[in-house]
Amino acid sequence: MADDRFDASLRDPRTMYPAPPFPRQPQDKPGFTEEMEPRPDHGEESYVGNGRLKGRKALITGGDSGIGRAVAIAYAREGAEVAINYLDAEEEDAASLARLIEDEGGTIHRLPGDLKDKAFCRALIEQAREAMGGLDILVANAGKQVRQPGIEEISDEQFDETVQTNIYALFWLTKAALKVMPAGSAIITVTSNQGFSPAPYLLDYATTKFAIRGFTEALAQGAIEQGVRVNGIAPGPFWTPLQPSGGQTQDKVEEFGKGTPMGRPGQPAELAPAFVYLASPESSYVCGEIIGITGGKPIS
């Protein structure tokens, strides 16, 4: 019997989801899903699993909302046991995600903490491994982005926090994960179109996304020696709590995604299938690659 959540009919991708203008909606960091208008789609009503990750054990950073939330929903519906990391302030979104997954019979472990702390990053890998009885998928998704007019307005504190969240945490997490991941495991990083075409108002963020590209390509060549595949995804503009909570100015929130060929931002649900693909055996010969998902804007 067909699952009525999934619509396989032809649909124009330009009009599948809301397009700007959007209302102004300032939020304090880190931002919350329920306060966004329109509410992001994480696949709650549309993603249908087919057992592609049955028995797998996945840790997703930034898993409470946005891209990470969509990945957690998809992985759980594909049969994986899931652990998510998030900040204590994001407990509301994490709790609502846990209710969704648990009500569907899935298993999710909530592991809050600050990835800027080296000791916590190392402990997080062990916590996830112990909770799930193993670890064979790591999605390093959590990131910090604050839009500023230019370099003059980027404080040392902001620069440090962006680099610590986006780069140092990635280094600490993958270093610890590789010690416990068996052959056949997958590590998935999240870079950005900003890692290919940087904008001056996201200078620190773009710098880290360039670094993630290089890190991914270099790590992949070493990790495959123990049978672990490393790949990355480069999203374009996606409608997540990161944007109204400082990732963009409110002027830019109103027009967010307008500059893409599709004329709209992506929804987290539109990214999840790529994360499933890179984690599953279907991508067994894919290693050291970056998949761009940008609404039609080329990356190179």
Task: Check 75, 168, 205, 285 and give the catalytic one.
Answer: 205
Give dist(CA 238, CA 164) in Å, integer.
22
Give dist(CA 81, CA 111) in Å, integer.
14
Residue found under tokens 């969240």: 165
Q: What are phi and psi of 38, to 5 degrees?
A: -75, 160
For 240, which DSSP code? S
Q: Which amino acid is at 133?
A: G
Q: What are phi and psi of 102, to 5 degrees?
A: -70, -35
Give dist(CA 257, CA 72) in Å, integer.
24
277 is catalytic: no
Taking CA atoms, 107 is separated from 55, 264, 279, 298, in Å, by 11, 34, 18, 37
Q: Which amino acid is at 62?
A: G
Give dist(CA 202, CA 280) in Å, integer.
33
Name the nearest CA neighbour of 108 among 73, 135, 141.
73
Can you spell out the DSSP letters for 13-66? TTSSS--S--------TT--GGG-SSPPP-STTT----STTTT-EEEEETTTSH
Residue found under tokens 């909530």: 110
Tokens encoding 173: 């997490």
Residue found under tokens 């306060």: 35
Q: What are the strands, taking DSSP E only, across 105-248?
A: 108-110, 137-140, 186-190, 229-235
So which residues are the catalytic ones? 205
